[in-house]
Amino acid sequence: MSSPVSWPAGVQEAAEVVSARPVGAYTHLVLRAPEAARRAQPGQFVACGTGDSGMLLRRSLSLHAADPEAGTLEVVVAAAGPGTRLLAAKRPGDVVSTTAPLGRPFPLPAPGTPAVVIGGGYGAAPLPWLARVLTTGGSRVVGIVGAASADRLLGTSAVDDATALDGIADAVVVTTDDGSLGAPGRVTDALPEVLLELSELGEPAVYACGPMPMLRSVHTTTREVLGERAQTWLAVEESMACGVGVCMTCVLPVVDLDDDDTPTRMLRACTAGPVFDGDALRWDAIGAAPHLRGGALVPDDAVGAPVVGRAGGH
């Protein structure tokens, strides 16, 4: 698996909204941000200001697409709270302050490597762009998109053609927890069969974007089916206050896969991620901090772990 060593820094632009339309439960926005559109790669995100709303923090959104010729970025917004409600209500001609592209893009496999791309809810947003890059590189690509119910799905033509994997990936599997569309169950219920089918062509590359419990399950399932050497690339959607590496609110415990002697470090998901190698994440400490909305605890053996309460601590 080849990995990009660097990627261009983000830029701030006053991005005019070119179009805004509903896509299922979400809003698809096209933003004119020519410099970011020139630099962006699949897996990166944009931090969007909320104008004169009084909300200081930018809201992070995965890049659904970037068109360097049109000079546009595309995002899909789920109106979850005050900031995203405001963004979802934008109309053509409005202006959004954007910082993009941010974060580490999806590393690409050797040309021709079979791949599965998996999205939960709006986590499917970056997948069609990624799938197009993979198929251009000669990969057979299978998409799996799922959600709790049909109204939260994205990435399937059953919801919307323009944001779907259909026609880009070689096959698309849809799941819903309640069985309201596609196969009843979770994306990981469909994953073993897809992995086994793709394995006939070579060791598949596994890409996923969605909530942390789904990413964890994708990682576990992939290892169960393909063995411990299987590689997963997971795009996390941790809460990000600044999005540019300043505030440390997005840190995750990460091990150095090349050096067993290097202790766990708390890395910023906005700059070291949002795409992580699934093997590098310390799953035992992730989702273990309910007071941080399911955020990660600092493992006792991590660099800089607090010593309060431990023998000999202060």
Ligand X SMILES: Cc1cc2nc3c(=O)[nH]c(=O)nc-3n(C[C@H](O)[C@H](O)[C@H](O)COP(=O)(O)OP(=O)(O)OC[C@H]3O[C@@H](n4cnc5c(N)ncnc54)[C@H](O)[C@@H]3O)c2cc1C
Residues that bind ligand X (CB under 6 A): 45, 57, 59-62, 75-78, 80-84, 122, 125, 237-241, 249, 274, 292-293
Q: Which is nearer to ligand FES, 241 or 288 (CB)?
A: 241
| Residue 248 interacts with, from ligand FES, ligand X, none (CB under 5-8 Å by kind) | ligand FES
CB atoms closer than 10 angstroms to residue 25: 19
Strands 26-32 and 275-277, bridge-based pairing: unpaired
Residue of 126, 134, 132 whose CA lies nearest to 145: 126
Q: Which is nearer to ligand FES, 64 or 268 (CB)?
A: 268
**Rounded (5°) CA angle 73-212-128:** 35
Binding site for ligand FES (CB under 6 A): 240-243, 245-250, 268, 270
Taking the complex as a whole, the smallest distance from the CB of residue 276 to ligand X amounts, in Å, to: 11
| Residue 59 interacts with, from ligand X, ligand FES, none (CB under 5-8 Å by kind) | ligand X
| Residue 105 interacts with, from ligand X, ligand FES, none (CB under 5-8 Å by kind) | none
The β-bridge partners of 280 are none
Tell me if 25 sits within 8 A of 151, measured CB to CB.
yes
| Residue 238 interacts with, from ligand FES, ligand X, none (CB under 5-8 Å by kind) | ligand X
Q: Which is nearer to ligand FES, 112 or 304 (CB)?
A: 304
Q: Which is nearer to ligand FES, 246 or 303 (CB)?
A: 246
Q: Which is nearer to ligand FES, 11 or 158 (CB)?
A: 11
Question: DSSP E strands: which ranges in the chain?
Answer: 11-23, 26-32, 45-48, 59-62, 65-67, 72-77, 95-102, 115-120, 141-147, 171-176, 183-184, 205-209, 232-235, 251-254, 265-268, 275-277
